[in-house]
Amino acid sequence: MPKGSRRAYRTGLSRVVIVDAAVALTAERGLEGWSMRELTGRLDTSLSVIYHHVGDRGRVRAAVVDRVYADMGLTFDETDWRAGLYAELSAMVEQLSRYPGVAAWLLRNGPQTEGLAV
């Protein structure tokens, strides 16, 4: 390989930046609609950087689900359970409709990531 022909990848990425990019891809194409190659292209980095900070495809997708779920900010008010349940479910439907595939992932896999199990 000629000197200088090796591609210089972006380094110094964090888990937060990687998950942010994966969440954006999920909003655009759905949870199953993007690949790790597309994620590395968006971040201008190598696959090994993503594996180092987050993990494989399954772990990246679990982190996306975790982030989407955490961003719902669900707080159940027990004083009027019917109104509280309606408000929480409405917030969930609104949030999950922005990220195709996340609701299906939750139904198939349940709350397996740290943020969902709380």
Q: Using one digit for the tens of pLDDT, what is the confidence trace for 17-41?
A: 999 999 999 999 999 999 999 999 9
pLDDT at 83 over 90: no
Q: Residue 1's pLDDT band (boundaries 50, 70, 90)?
A: very low
pTM of the model: 0.78
Q: What is the CA angle 19-25-27, rounded to 5?
A: 105
For residue 72, is it within any domain? yes
For residue 51, is it within any domain? yes
Share above pLDDT 70 across residues of the chain, in percent, rounded to a whole number: 82
CATH number at residue 87: 1.10.357.10
For residue 41, is it within any domain? yes
For residue 113, is it within any domain? no
Q: How far apart are CA 118 and CA 31, in angstroms?
A: 23
Residues 6+ apart with CB under 8 A from 60: 18, 19, 22, 36, 39, 50, 54
Highest mean pLDDT among 32-36, 103-107, 113-117: 32-36
Q: Residue 5's pLDDT band (boundaries 50, 70, 90)?
A: very low
pLDDT at 118 over 50: no
* pLDDT given for residue 77 in this prediction: 67
Range(s) of the domain holding residue 50: 15-108
For residue 1, is it within any domain? no
Q: Which among 27, 14, 101, 114 has a CA at the least distance from the CA of 54?
A: 14
Split into its structural domains, the chain has a count of 1
